[in-house]
Structure formats: C-alpha cells, structure tokens
Amino acid sequence: MTTHLPPNQSLDTDSSAQESPMPNNVLNNDEPDNQEMIDENTDALDNGDLLEEDSDIDGEIDDSDIDDGDDEVPVAGQAIPVVVDMTHIVTEDQSGLRIDKVASQVFADFSRVQVQGWITDGSLLYNGSVQRPKVRVKADDVLHLSTTLQQHSEDQPENIDIDVVYEDDDVLVINKPVGMVVHPGAGNQTGTLVNALLYHYPQQHHLPRAGLVHRIDKDTSGLLLIGKTKPAQMALMEQLKDKSVYRHYQCVVAGDAASLLRHRRIDAPIGRHRTQRTKMTVMTAGREAVTHLLNVTPLNENYCLLDVGLETGRTHQIRVHLSHITYPLVGDRVYGGRRQLRSGLSEAQRQAISNFPRQALHAYTLGFVHPTTGEDVEVTTPLPEDMQQLIAVLSNGYDDEYDK
C-alpha cells in the first residue's frame, strides 16, 4: 500500500531542508557539550525508573558502556574475557598477498578494521614479529592472532528476523519494527534486537550492546545505527555527541497546519517527571532540548504529517515537545490522552485514531559520516503499513475539500 497524501499540500517550513535532508553538521552548535550528551545518555540508560512495558527508551548509548568504567549503569550481562588464539599457515594460493588481505580472509569472524588494528598493535604477528599490513606473505609463513575480547554472557542469541537496510564491514543499519525492544532490560530479557543481532552476527558478541549506538522506543519504528567493530561503534558515538549524525522522523499529530507552523523550532528543556518516574516532561531544571519541524503536511483540517529533525537527543523528546505545545502524536497514550481526538472527524477517522495501538512515529532517515571511509552515508526507509493506513483514513476526502 502506498502512502496517501493530499497533492500540493506540503507546507515547507524551511526551503533548504525541503530540498535535501539535513546535511551533516547543519544543526551543530558551535561548541558541542560532550559532557551534557554523556549525562543525557546515562539518564536514558537508567532503566530502574522504567515500567516493564516501557523498558526501552529513546536515547544514545552511553559511551561509558564501551569503556569499563561504568559503575552506575552496567551493561546487561557481566563482561567476561574471551581469549582468541588462532594460527594460520600461508598457502601457495595466498603467496604474494598482503598480510592484511590474508588475515581478513582467514580470520573471517572479525572485520577488516579489527584485523588491521591487531596487526598494528601486535596482537597479530607475522612469523613471530610485528609487521606492516602491506607486507607481502610467502607460502608457509605463519600468522598468529592472540587477543582478548570482552563478551557479555547473559545476552543470548535468538533466531529473530531483522530488516537490514545498509551493511558493510564496519556499519549496520536496521529497520526496527514496532513492538521490538532494542536491548535486554528489566522484564525484557529475550526477544530484543540485541538477541537478534547476536544470532545473525555472532561476532557482535564482544561489543557492548552488540554494537548499538543509539535506540528508539519499543513502539517507535525505524532506523537504528550499529557499529560492527569497536572502533566503528566508538566513532559513531562521537558523531552523535558532535551532532554529525542526523535523524529525521515522520509522525502523525493532532493539530492544524497553521498552528504547527508557528512552532518550527521547539526549544524547551526536558527532564524526568518528579513524581511519574516513567515519564519525561518540559521543566526549567531539565536539559536543553531542541526539535525542528522541517515540514508540515495537512491530512485534514485538524491532523498533520510532520517531518521532524532532532538537534538534541533527549529521552522521548519528540513526544514530549509536541505534547507540550498541545499537538500530541496520534496513538501516544503516555503524552497524548484525549487531546488526540479533535473535532470534525468522521466515525471511521475517530475509530482509526482511537484504535491506533502505538505512537505514530517513524525514524525514516539516518545520516552519518562513515567511520572508515569518511564518506557521507544516508539511509531511508518508508513509512510502515500501519501509519500509511492511518494517513489514508485521515486524509480521505480532504483532497476534494481542499480543491473547492
């Protein structure tokens, strides 16, 4: 089913954003506050405050998960050392190839970048000594790999289908379906994206959170960025901190286009609710949070499809900000409530809104700088079927009404 949108009704709030998705660094602050991002991520990992059914929240993965100094929020499963000790005798067919080429072939459970790192740091020896990756090998030469990996024992692999939309030696981008929790936590030890990754990519087992760089809500669909090696994961996390990763979302909200256009930039600090600890809220003591409404497309007089860009990455940021300006996401039971139902709805439209089982939010575009090649990479994925159907019902008949 294709997305049904009224023709010629896309109200661009920023012509440059409409011509092309937000380029790298377009939302950069002059001096990114890296400590603020780290603090935010630690808060997002504080699953002790979360209900069982909402134990997966928007946010970046704290880089203290990568280092071993995270006492406040340990990764699921205690890290245990796994010793790798492998030897390979160069064959006649491999004679004349570079060391890194042969090593990548024979130690295929690891990425090319990992292998090159081990050659450089001496973990992978050539005839008992450290050599440059470009040195050519001869038959009967010996490659010996000896290193220790950190493996997280409690996250178990599970044969769960995943939708891979981009993959190379260093990076993986997954289109997460609605209802899938991103990583194991309280009440969600199985059936998560991490469990699926460990089955399909067993080499991810030695990476914290199986290489995850950020995450989205259980009931939000869309793109997630994953590093396939430790250097790639670290580099992508750094990009999140300096805002060279950009993420665009599409969402259906209860609000008219004219009103929404008055809120093209929502700048309101967000913190954890003082009494309802599973919720976030706009508060003066919160952390800086900025959301951009890049494009507003009316579906009817009181509902719109939004294209949203994040300048910061606070927990539940889009949902909280749109609720704060009184235009909540359709299906958002936590931040929307009765305000989702506006006047002038047909019975079919009212039922479609009332019965929509989750927040109508989809992460459809993800852009980043490739951690190895330095090239700009952009990945997109279409709206899921449930949102397409919702849009079709809400915009039904509005084309004719608008053309009168």
Residue 89 confidence (pLDDT) above 80: yes
> Do 55 and 47 contact (CB within 8 A), yes or no?
yes
Residue 277 confidence (pLDDT) above 60: yes
Higher pLDDT, 333 or 38: 333
Taking the C-alpha atoms of residue 339 and residue 158, their distance in angstroms, rounded to an integer, is 40
Best CA proximity match to 311, nearest among 382, 240, 380: 240
Plot region of 288 (φ>0 → left; ψ -120 to 50 → alpha; else → beta): beta
**What was the pLDDT predicted at 19?**
37
As a residue count, the chain comes to 404
Taking the C-alpha atoms of residue 233 and residue 227, their distance in angstroms, rounded to an integer, is 4
Taking the C-alpha atoms of residue 350 and residue 86, their distance in angstroms, rounded to an integer, is 63
* pLDDT-derived band at 215, boundaries 50, 70, 90: confident
**What was the pLDDT predicted at 115?**
87
**What was the pLDDT predicted at 186?**
57
Higher pLDDT, 274 or 20: 274
**What was the pLDDT predicted at 150?**
60
* pLDDT-derived band at 61, boundaries 50, 70, 90: low
Instruction: Give per-residue pLDDT as tens, 303-340.
Output: 999 999 999 888 899 999 999 999 999 999 999 877 88
Could you say which of 54, 58, 217, 307 is catalytic? 217
Q: Please count the other Cβ atoms lying within 10 Å of the Cβ belonging to residue 261.
A: 15
> Do 215 and 363 contact (CB within 8 A), yes or no?
no
> Do 266 and 321 contact (CB within 8 A), yes or no?
yes
Average pLDDT of the segment spanning 223-244: 92
Higher pLDDT, 4 or 247: 247
**What was the pLDDT predicted at 147?**
87
Instruction: Give per-residue pLDDT as tens, 114-171.
Output: 888 899 889 999 999 999 999 999 999 999 999 887 654 567 899 999 999 999 999 9
Residue 112 confidence (pLDDT) above 90: no
Residue 344 confidence (pLDDT) above 90: no
CA angle 383, 388, 390 (to 5 degrees): 130
Taking the C-alpha atoms of residue 168 and residue 155, their distance in angstroms, rounded to an integer, is 24
Residue 3 confidence (pLDDT) above 80: no
Share of the chain above pLDDT 70, in %: 75
- As a whole number, the mean pLDDT across the chain is 80
Average pLDDT of the segment spanning 374-378: 96
User: Is 149 in a helix, a strand, or coil?
Assistant: strand
Is residue 217 part of the annotated active site? The answer reads yes
221-227 and 171-176 strand pairing: antiparallel
Share of the chain above pLDDT 90, in %: 55
Residue 113 confidence (pLDDT) above 90: no
Residue 254 confidence (pLDDT) above 80: yes
Distances (CA, A) of 54 to 167, 184, 240, 277, 319: 29, 12, 24, 12, 14
- CB burial readout 378-388, b (16+ within 10 A) else e: bbebebbebbb
* pLDDT-derived band at 258, boundaries 50, 70, 90: very high
Residue 172 confidence (pLDDT) above 60: yes
* pLDDT-derived band at 49, boundaries 50, 70, 90: very low
171-176 and 163-167 strand pairing: antiparallel
**What was the pLDDT predicted at 80?**
53
**What was the pLDDT predicted at 401?**
52
Residue 181 confidence (pLDDT) above 60: yes
**What was the pLDDT predicted at 74?**
29
Best CA proximity match to 217, nearest among 156, 176, 260, 168: 176
Distances (CA, A) of 386 to 170, 221, 352, 355, 380: 32, 10, 10, 11, 18
Tell me the range of 34-43, 152-161, 390-399 where mean pLDDT is highest: 390-399
